[in-house]
Amino acid sequence: MRRALTLALATALTATAMPPVAFAQAVAAPAPADTARYDSAPWWMRSPVIASTGYVQKEVQANRAGFNASFQGVEKTAADATRVATDQVRELMTALAALGGDKVRVTASVSLTPIYDQYKDKDGNLISNQRADKIDKYQANVTIQVEVRDLSKLERAYALTVAARPVSTSQVYFTLLPDNEMRTALATAAFADATRRARMAAEATGVKLGAVKLIDPTGRACDTDVLIAGAPRGYNDSQPNYDRAVMAPPPPPPPPPAPSVSGALSLEQRADQLRLTLQPPLQTVEDKACVVFALVN
């Protein structure tokens, strides 16, 4: 009996002593370091630098123009309607082509619209059919799109189009399409402005500019979200802004044609009677660039 009590007491003491040892080990174990939350330091934080954004803005005259015109023909058959509509633009297309294919570009499209037989019932309500066997006529629509690349030809091209008597003519819209020389000049001016701004900032803070660390023609490298490690990398419209369309006011209505003894006037003669003044507007172009310099005390 005494031996059994001794064995039971020893077992209880052993069971009671185990948890404190295990608990002590759990408390003493160091927690793993959370390094995933931190980025490595970027190169521009190892030594003093200045990120300078250069801006350039100037006004340039638009160098492209365009407009549309529509012609119609209504006949009993689709073939006749198409023929009538295309005959109206044939002389115009020839006259526009004479201005130079590299200066005035013309594209044309044709569409057909059926005109259904309509009648009124005994109550006076208009009934419109939509059945293929109830087509009365066809309306052919010819639309031309004129792109003028040499603005010295614009007024003549528009006068010829108006003289062809279309059923509708759009306003003239202007755009600016810079050439390679203009793009290069804008970029060069933006880099020069970035250098000037960096030099002024360095002088104002009592330091000197060192070597160039980074040149970014897009200007994005100087944005705050790029210079802060771990920030989201967003995109912006840092590219030059060139092609904003500007609508020109519609020209005044053409004067009535002068009487001619020899009969009807030709397209060229009717165009000569029009007095159109179309002035290309000025458009603002801009660009920016980023240059990062080292700083020297």
Q: How many domains does the chain have?
A: 2
179 in helix, strand or coil?
A: coil
Q: How many residues does the chain have?
A: 297
Same domain membership, residue 258 and residue 226: no
3-state helix, strand, coil in the chain (%, to 5): 35, 30, 35
Distance between CA atoms of residues 188 and 58, nearest Å = 13
Domain shared by 276 and 149, yes or no = yes
Among the residue ranges 51-65, 173-187, 235-249, 256-270, the one predicted with the least confidence is: 235-249
55 and 150 co-located in one domain: no
Same domain, 108 and 165: yes
| pLDDT tens per residue, range 212-231 | 998 999 888 887 655 554 44
CA angle 10, 11, 14 (to 5 degrees): 85
Structure tokens at 25: 């080990």
Per-residue pLDDT, 144: 95
**Band of pLDDT at residue 48, cut at 50, 70 and 90:** confident
Residue 45: what pLDDT? 63
Residue 206 lies in a domain: yes
CATH number, residue 96: 3.30.70
Write the pLDDT tens digit of every residue in 56-104: 999 999 999 999 999 999 999 999 999 999 999 999 999 999 999 999 9
Q: Does residue 150 share a domain with residue 50?
A: no
pLDDT higher than threshold 50 for residue 28 = no
In a domain, 165, yes or no: yes
Within a domain: 166:
yes
Q: Is residue 20 part of a domain?
A: no
Q: Does 107 lie in the same domain as 215?
A: no
Take residue 249 and report the two structure tokens written for it.
Answer: 């006011």
Closest CA to 44 of 296, 297, 292: 292
Name which residue leads in pLDDT, 132 or 294: 294
Compare 32 and 70 and report the one with higher pLDDT: 70
Residue 243: the pLDDT is 47
Rounded CA gap, 172 and 158, in Å?
Answer: 9
Asked if 168 and 67 count as a contact pair (C-beta separation under 8 A), the reply is no
Over 50: is that where the pLDDT of 257 sits? Answer: no
Alpha-carbon gap, residue 50 to 247, rounded angstroms: 43
Q: Does the pLDDT value for residue 274 go beyond 70?
A: yes
Statement to judge: residues 99 and 188 lie in one domain: no
Reported as half-sphere exposure (CB side, CA atoms, 13 A), residue 53 has a value of: 12
pLDDT for the residue 126: 73
Q: Greater confidence, 62 or 132?
A: 62
Query: Taking each helix axis from N to C terminus, what angle separates 78-97 and 154-163, rounded to the nearest 10 degrees?
Result: 150
Are residue 106 and residue 159 in the same domain, yes or no? yes
- Predicted local distance difference test score (pLDDT) of residue 27: 42
pLDDT at 261: 43
Say if CB 280 and CB 61 are below 8 A apart. Answer: yes
In a domain, 11, yes or no: no
Looking at the structure, tell me whether residues 67 and 81 fall in a common domain. yes
Within a domain: residue 154? Answer: yes
Please provide the average confidence, as pLDDT, over all residues in the chain: 79
Q: What is the DSSP string of 31-92?
A: PPP--TT-PPPPGGGSS-EEEEEEEEEEEEE--EEEEEEEEEEEESSHHHHHHHHHHHHHHH
Q: What is the distance between the alpha carbons of residues 24 and 200, in angstroms, rounded to a whole number?
A: 63
b/e 1-25 (16+ beta carbons within 10 angstroms → b): eeeeeeeeeeeeeeeeeeeeeeeee
Identify the domain containing residue 204 by its residue range: 43-60+179-243+287-296
Per-residue pLDDT of 170-192, as tens digits, reads 999 999 999 899 999 999 999 99
Same domain, 192 and 230: yes
Q: Which residues of 148-166 are buried (b: 16+ CB within 10 A; e: fewer)?
A: bbebebbbbbbbbbbbbeb
On whether both 105 and 162 belong to a single domain, the answer is: yes
Has residue 239 been placed in a domain?
Answer: yes
Number of Cβ within 10 Å of residue 49's Cβ equals 19
Task: Report the CATH number that the domain containing residue 229 is assigned in CATH.
Answer: 3.30.110
pLDDT attached to residue 225: 54
Percent of the chain with pLDDT over 90: 51
State whether 97 and 225 are in the same domain.
Answer: no
Q: Is residue 27 situated within a structural domain?
A: no
